[in-house]
Structure 1
Amino acid sequence: MAKRRKVGNLLALAVLSALVQRPMHPYEIAAALRGWGKDQDMDLKWGSFYTVVRNMDKHGLIAAVESVREGRRPERTVYRITDAGHAEMVDWAAELVSTPAREHPHFRAGLSVLAVLHPDEVTRLLRRRLELLEHDVTAARDTLAEHLKTLPRLFLVELEYDLAMREAEAAWVRSLVAELTSGEYPGLDLWRSAHETGEMPAELTELAERTRATE
């Protein structure tokens, strides 16, 4: 079980990854994270940004270096990463890379209630999803190839991962559509009957009751 971190918001990890480059004030940090596309890699809640920065300072993960003023703008505090913050960043990154975490994608949620849809409708919807996935895969390949012209692969590995996940999902959806279209999908007749008659087949009712009894 992962240890409880002093500041568990992934935004904190993003801030540490920015400050490891050089000391910055919060506005610079936010601009850097947006420029690097970190909000595409992590679920960053920008509304809590300054609260996260203050909490990190409180817990000794970052420390104020100086306060600066540019023109008539309010005074800004420049922060640096501390030794404790560096250790936390490395440990956190290692945990994220090494330890699979249970996630709840929207697609999985939809699949969990797939039976509420008619199988013909499911086939249509999955074909639409497959079109979008194939478009995403093509765009992701082009984007990765373009970035590889100017950036080391090390800084693009998350794009490789996104591409691999999209390709794997597209392959799985394609195979599911093929089973539904050919009629080879197990229990397809019962599923179709439930929607066309408005009555749950006895086989499915009994299965649901057995499953509930074992919980």
Structure 2
Amino acid sequence: MKDPVDTLTPMGVMVLALLRESDMHPYEMVRLLRARHDDRLLTITNGTLYHTVSRLQKSGLLDEVGIDRDGNRPERTTYTLTDAGRCAVIAWVQRELPRVDHPTDFRIALAEAHNLERDDVIPLLGERRIALVEEHALHRDGLVKARAKGVPAQVLVEIERQEVLLDAELRWLDSLLTRLDADSLPWGPSAFTDSDRYLAQRKAAQQ
């Protein structure tokens, strides 16, 4: 039998992560994702999200907890996270956070990394740092060799860009790890507070 984590899509991870906060109906999920500007990470459409919810339910990662009808509005089915779904979010983030070959998935994993405890996140990011150092050295040394061989500069611009991006990410990652190590950055599910802005977002999304 296939591991549910292997079939999770980035959208599926974001849906499950939302349900870690509270039970919700899909319409609320869409509005909350857009209010938080998570559509900068992936395309969010009503059709895609409703299809994702259906797939997650069939996989046993979420379940229905009720159907509401308010006035002339269509019925809204509210979903809750199952134990399997809660574990799947954590397992997916743990798998994708250290990887350097899935850049899109990494952005989702990083956005949901606050669902992991500090002691889990630090070693995973440490693994990623090792992989980034190797990747950066490969691009840097490749550029040196190519230039020494007289390779035309115009065909090296993509490699130059990637080398710069890798260098920048390493500097950013070192800064993040320093803050995590020093406990100067509040982290983990228990460190998240229900701010007035957060509560206002939730209330607006429920309308």
TM-score range, shorter chain: 0.3 to 0.5
TM-score relative to the length of structure 2: 0.47
TM-score scaled by length of structure 1: 0.46
Q: Which has the larger radius of gyration?
A: 1
